[in-house]
Amino acid sequence: MGICGSKDTESYSNRNTSAQNTGSTVRKSGPKSSSSEISHNKSNPTAPLKSNEKFESFPEPTAKQQLQTVAEGQETTVNTSSNPKQSNVMDSTDGSNNSKNDTVEGKNKLKYHAKVLLLGSGESGKSTILRQIKIIHQNGFTDDERKEYKPFVFQNIVESIQCITKALVQYNLKSQITNLTGTELEFLSTYELPYSATNDLSYSLDGRLVELTKKLVTDEKVEKLLSSNEYEFYLLDSASYFFENLDRIGAPDYIPTTMDILRTRTQTSGIFDTKFQMEDLEVHLYDVGGQRSERKKWIHCFDNVTAIIFCVSLSEYNQTLLESPTQNRLEESLNLFESVVNSMWFKKTAVILCLNKIDIFIDQLPNYPLENYFPDYVGGANVNKAVKYILWRFKQLNRANLNLVPYVTQATDTNNIKLAFAIVRETILHKNLLESGVITS
């Protein structure tokens, strides 16, 4: 089964990234996972829940309550809420919004410093989380910075179009398209962004491309292709979002919105760092490339790490790697997680496990049964049981018994990420207090 390819574009804002169509998808099936690779507990991870444990109506624990729950070894509640009232996260450290009194008072406070690694396999949502940090702690994006994302938005759209046209050929549906002529389909399948699209920020999307794309995605056969589990192929998970906003994105005066930026897929290459502050905690966060070729660069960041934020895309259970089309993505994340948590470098490191893209996971689970890829799962289409099963698979690998704090996230939801980082803060401070002897457990 062919994978839709991609092409490099210009670098964005001193970040060596490329607008490759390597975003997570809900269309690409992967091989079944081998259950024998993991030592299973005798307990059933998908056992029936208590009557009040429904995924949609879980209570919203505070960050401290969640931390205490994990510390006491209790079952962790899956929480997808994004209540900003529960977040202890403060604004940016640039001082633009702080009063002089706050500055003086801050100098008298005890400051904690944390070195945090943002790890995970490719397309797990790490770069989106990094953009959320800029929104939450660094006053967001200026208009000039927004414009610099235009080439990546355009490239995401073009590559999504071409993945669809390739799927039409793959499933012999091209001749059944009624909204477009053969010539128009050929235009879409071979379209390439001009060089000016990557170096001229005033460039606007080709009007013909916009109109033909709207006709393509509203064709009856294409709608079935996108919605039915009968067809499985590689497609950017933000494709439908961009298609729904084609008129706005195709306007001559288009400037990417915050959500456009969060939805845009760019592949991270190399290691990038950012600094920000959460109340009395100063964080130095390192984001590293998730593709296999990038992982050898991680070793340079391993000294004196306070915590790891390990990102996993829940929706990747039915996908394969771009680097290795026979390797299941979730299995790859499990293997990577195992090597990280049991590494000699992280014997005293806290790990925050972000089970990301819950929104996509909820949508795709009924159409792509988890048991088709992980045969030992028996929870059916119950989202809560499915998430608990995946979490259980990760917990089995923590042989070093590191402090593991799981949290379900939707990286495109700013309030959800605020709450997640409140948990990160409390996890780090709890670790510091333990190591300093202030508390014993």
Mark the binding-site residues for GTP, compressed into ranges: 123-128, 237-238, 262-268, 287-291, 356-359, 411
Q: How far apart are the first and last CA of the chain?
A: 52
| Tokens (6 digits) for 277 | 């502050």
Q: Residue 339: name the closest of 371, 302, 376, 314 by CA.
A: 302
Residue numbers belonging to the annotated binding site for Mg(2+): 127, 268
Instruction: Report how far residue 20's alpha carbon sits from residue 271's, in angstroms, rounded to the nearest whole number.
Output: 18
Positions annotated as catalytic residues are: 123, 128, 265, 287, 291
In this structure, the number of other CB atoms found within 10 A of the CB of residue 141 comes to 19
| Tokens (6 digits) for 198 | 């990557």
Supply the angle between the helices 182-190 and 207-217 in degrees, to the nearest 10.
110
Count, residues in the chain:
441
Answer for the pair 164, 221: CB distance below 8 angstroms, yes or no. Answer: no
Answer for the pair 390, 331: CB distance below 8 angstroms, yes or no. Answer: no
**What's the gap between Cα 37 and its chain centre?**
25
